[in-house]
Amino acid sequence: MRKLPALIASCACAVGITFLAAPADAALLTQGMRSSDVVQLQRQLANHGYFYANTTGYYGSITSNAVKQFQRDHGLSVDGVAGPATLSKLGTKSSSGIVTASASASSGSKGTYRADQDSLDILAHIIYGEARGESFEGQVAVGAVVLNRVQSGEFPNTIWGVVMQPGQFTAVADGQYYLKPNKAAYDAARQALRGVDPTNGSLYYYNPRIATSEWSMRRPAVITLGQHIFTN
């Protein structure tokens, strides 16, 4: 499992972050560059679930590795350079020259959420829906499980994809995901995005008082936090 880097510093930006297309004289964004275009690249990578570090505007090794992983997952040449093909795949050019994340996904009768919805918001919703009665550490732990899955290679590679994977989270199935998160849920989401993981890398958790899945309960426990047992 790849280790999570630190916080997405700009993760509280609004739904539908826009990505300004690189100007003609800066068609390639490469390692070592520092510019506002790199800031936008980092935000768009974060929006797709590939970048979890601070949005600094510096194209360092973390940004290069995020670009490589995006390229690998989307059938592009894996060179760590954000050129026209990579920038195009990250979003869709509008007539105004702005690139925006394009896909949207329906989540059923309870509401519709864009696939490019801000990661912090998605994480806060699932934390609130799954663990609002838990301690702050227990809430961070639920967020950490989501991010561990994103990085594991065994689950979808975006926060949205992990949260909305069928049959994985009770809060999505029963509609509690769509409740409005409180400040604690957002604070817990921020901590998880900073790389705080009380679960020591766990990919699953369950509440033994209400769990019915024997498969879940047979998995080796890593740690118990509040009402949840975290497992791998």
Residue 20's pLDDT is 39
What are the residues whose beta carbons fall under 8 Å from the beta carbon of 144, sequence distance 6 or more?
Answer: 192, 196, 197, 198, 199, 202
Q: Give the lowest-confidence range in 3-7, 63-67, 110-114.
A: 110-114
Q: Which residue has the higher pLDDT, 214 or 121?
A: 121
- Name which CATH class applies to 18-100: mainly alpha
Residue 50 has pLDDT above 60, yes or no: yes
Banded pLDDT at 198 (limits 50, 70, 90): very high
What residues pair up with 99 in beta bridges, in sequence order? Answer: 19, 93
Q: Give tens-digit pLDDT for 88-131.
A: 898 733 223 333 333 333 233 223 333 334 788 999 999 999 99
CATH number given to 118-231: 1.10.10.2520
> What confidence tier does 77 reach under pLDDT thresholds 50, 70, 90?
very high
pLDDT digits (tens, 9 = 90+) for 128-180: 999 999 999 999 999 999 999 988 889 988 888 899 899 899 999 999 999 99
**Secondary structure element (H or E) that encloses residue 225, with its range:** strand 221-225
Sequence ranges of the domains in the chain: 18-100, 118-231
Q: Which is higher by pLDDT, 31 or 52?
A: 31
